[in-house]
Chain A
Amino acid sequence: GNSVTQMEGPVTLSEEAFLTINCTYTATGYPSLFWYVQYPGEGLQLLLKATKADDKGSNKGFEATYRKETTSFHLEKGSVQVSDSAVYFCALSTNAGKSTFGDGTTLTVKP
């Protein structure tokens, strides 16, 4: 079956540091890949997505590239802010309309 493996957290960074959160996946067929963000007390929100190999998703300074050869979709941001503190989920979706989520990575950014 499908699976998503995320870098274990928690991750603690200083403001303006570079962020990488690793995500690898196993799937049959050609999935779409997503990063969601969850702020305290809220539901998940879509951060970015990529729907085919070599696509780059980007939003709010975050980027991730769909790498079919390494089955990866790592999340990066060049300079994090305190407001980026949240839980980040990597996910994939196949044609069945269901998604498979990773376990989430908690990011804390300190001023």
Chain B
Amino acid sequence: NAGVTQTPKFRILKIGQSMTLQCAQDMNHNYMYWYRQDPGMGLKLIYYSVGAGITDKGEVPNGYNVSRSTTEDFPLRLELAAPSQTSVYFCASSYSTPATSNQPQHFGDGTRLSIL
């Protein structure tokens, strides 16, 4: 029962460095999401994807990029890391159709990222 797997769990970056946060799901879900969670705050949607080859911006996309070449994988890339991107990043997936809204999201355990 792997579910949603995120790697790495922790990472420290220097300002200006780049990195890719990996996310994989084995539930054949069509929708995948990236959120950031700042201390004491709720989740903010960065990007989401409704299927392979299709991605769209969420609330806070600036400074990030995504791709979805397969159903299983949805990596998030930071090109030029900035201190404001210090956060916990969660990947999630769900099975949804345009006619349904009742499927919950399944979350990974998060990547804790510090930019110094």
Contact = CB atoms under 8 A, between A and B. Distances in A.
A61 interface: no
A44 interface: yes
Band of interface residues on B: 20 to 34
A77 B77 CA distance: 41
Interface stretch (A18-26, A67-75, A89-97): A89-97
Given A43-B109, A93-B101, A93-B102, A98 B45 contact: yes
A89 B43 CA distance: 9
Interface of A: 30-32, 34, 36, 41-46, 49, 51, 89, 93-99, 101-104
A34 B109 contact: no
B114 to A, nearest CB: 15
Interface of B: 4, 31, 33, 40-43, 45, 48, 50, 58, 90, 92, 94, 96-110
B43 A97 contact: no
A45 B107 contact: yes
A99 B42 CA distance: 12
28 contacts: A32-B102, A34-B104, A41-B109, A41-B110, A42-B109, A42-B110, A43-B90, A43-B107, A49-B102, A49-B104, A51-B101, A93-B101, A95-B98, A95-B99, A95-B100, A95-B101, A96-B98, A97-B31, A97-B101, A98-B33, A98-B45, A98-B48, A98-B58, A101-B42, A101-B43, A103-B41, A104-B40, A104-B41
